[in-house]
Amino acid sequence: MMENKGIFVTLFIVVTLGVGWVYYSQGTFQTDIPDYEVEATPPLETSEGYGVSSTHPLAVKVGMQVLKDGGNAVDAAVAVSYMLGVVEPYGSGIGGGGEMLVLPSGNEEPVNYKYKEIAPPSGGSPTYNFAVPGMVKGMEAVHEDFGTVEMAQLLDPAIQYASYGFQTDAFLTGRLKGAAYRMRIDELDNFYPGGTAIEPNEKLRQPELASTMKKIQEQGSDALYSGEITDEIVSKVRGITKEDFESYEVVKNEPVQGEFAGYQVYSSPPPLAGVTLIQSLQMAEMLDIEQTKGHPADYIHLIGEISKRTYDDRLSEIGDPRFYENDIQELTTKPYSEELASTISMDKLSDQYEVNDSEADIEDHDNTTHFVVVDKNGMMVSATHTLSNFFGSGRNIAGIFLNDTMRNFSISGLPPNNQEPGKRPRSFTAPTILTNGEKVIGIGTPGGKRIPMVLTQVLTQNLLFNEPIEEAIQAPRFYIEDNNIFVEKEFDKGVRRELEARGYNVYLKDSPFYYGGVQALVVDRANTTMYGGADSRRDGTWQVNQE
């Protein structure tokens, strides 16, 4: 446990020349957190260390500092979550939600925390497609159960980087340019100085966000769910009430489970996509997909056929369990996966399988952020946070980008994903932890509807093809929908001809955001080592240490 848990006193000193910030907190002196001098560390030759893998290097740095100072994985996860809302405001934040899978140290069972956004319990259909956010309540709930460091201290790094600024990167500039058409640029001078997106290597300050986080630091979740921030949001968003905020509750339950490559797989329960991922992995194994190694056309075809069935099954079988009965035990069994796989042919393409049933699916909301944390006692956290679309609705109130999660409900209006008061819409997110007793893997990715397919590619290549996790993460990716294959890099002409002969249309789509941003940590007790994986498609990195 971190020392000096109690009265929180902080003296802030701004450091010039872009070095970062320093603070003194009851005897804990932290210095030199530079903006981008954060690189992956070598693997540890021990399984007793700690680590963080995240899509932004400053989030890694902040999480590692919490762990170094004695905090546990949940403490670090809280600090990382708030930090990501500052440095990746397009990907997550106070105005959105997420889910966190916690694998405690020892023999305790994993716990899933679901703090996804919900439709207003009052029955309204808010402007901007805004749903009641859950991130702040979620951080409070998981911290109450597992945290050891004062919550106020964990918010502090995010507040300071919002107040004094951080060095922007090309990813943020690119997302700002891409979202400019739906942003209120005249109200976002810090993001669009002079009416154009802030350039890379500039200093971005978010004083309104810092002020909001300070209120949360002082008042807890009440600041957002029953205080003046609530009043401001309700006054500017029609169709949502203060009572909708006040009634929000975090759901704590068991993750879904399955078996793959000798591992127990734990992932996010409905209405999230853990079932879809587990089905995909189990089908890949039972179809002997490892036999396709060295035969990329066969591998791509099998992944596509598997995904068509699991994605289609999701539409009829997965919904918010408070409104729809999900037979989780049945859906994740190997016989169920075997039945789904029974119609797959290596020679024919399947048709009549659906993927899209919401505006978010059709518009291709691919915005999320993922991170993994492990502490020296072996507690692991795998978490995915989102605003739905990049920057959510684009509307910013009190420094908070509001989500547009209501677009995730089915456009058909039919169960199980129809809009109902207090309901959580379906999501493709799937924070996951795998363990075989000797080895533990925490993994996840952003990427919208590509999430289960991307994770299936990475995990089959890692655990069935025996490729190192970093190589599996960096390997070229693809996404299949209907008979269209979107590829990150051009195939060998022979592979392309083989796929086209089977009836596929192959398109090059090389956007780094399209294919997600996989982050992972691995604790290998059998080989006494610890290491991570981070996706170069975004600004991800990982670090491990044993001090």
Among 287, 282, 295, residue whose Cα is nearest residue 343: 287
The order of strands in the sheet holding 439-444 is 256-260, 263-267, 432-435, 439-444, 519-524, 529-534
Q: What percent of the chain has pLDDT over 90?
A: 86
Per-residue pLDDT tens over the stretch 424-470: 999 999 999 999 999 999 999 999 999 999 999 999 999 999 999 99
Q: Are strands 439-444 and 28-30 parallel, antiparallel or unpaired?
A: unpaired
> For residue 352, what pLDDT is reported?
82
Domains of the chain: 10-35+74-248+389-408 (no CATH), 253-362+430-523 (3.60.20.40)
Q: What is the pLDDT of residue 108?
A: 86
What pLDDT shows up at residue 116?
98
Instruction: Select which of 368, 369, 456, 541 is catalytic.
Output: 368
Average pLDDT over residues 287-296: 97
In the chain, what are the helix, strand and coil shares in percent, each to the nearest 5?
35, 20, 45
Burial of 16 (0-12, 13-18, 19+ CB in 10 A): exposed
Q: pLDDT tens digits, residue range 4-50?
A: 333 232 323 232 223 333 332 333 324 334 455 577 889 999 999 99
pLDDT (0 to 100) of residue 165: 98
Catalytic residue flag (residue 46): no
> What angle (nearest 5°) sits at the alpha carbon of residue 409, between those of residues 407 and 414?
145
Q: Does position 341 have pLDDT exceeding 70, yes or no?
A: yes
448 is in an annotated binding site: yes
Task: Report the pLDDT value the prediction gives residue 35, as an integer from 0 to 100.
Answer: 52
User: What is the chain's length?
Assistant: 547
Mean pLDDT of the chain: 92
Say whether pLDDT at 95 is over 70.
yes
The pLDDT tens digits for 199-218 are 999 999 999 999 999 999 99
Q: What is the pLDDT of residue 26?
A: 31
pLDDT at 37: 59
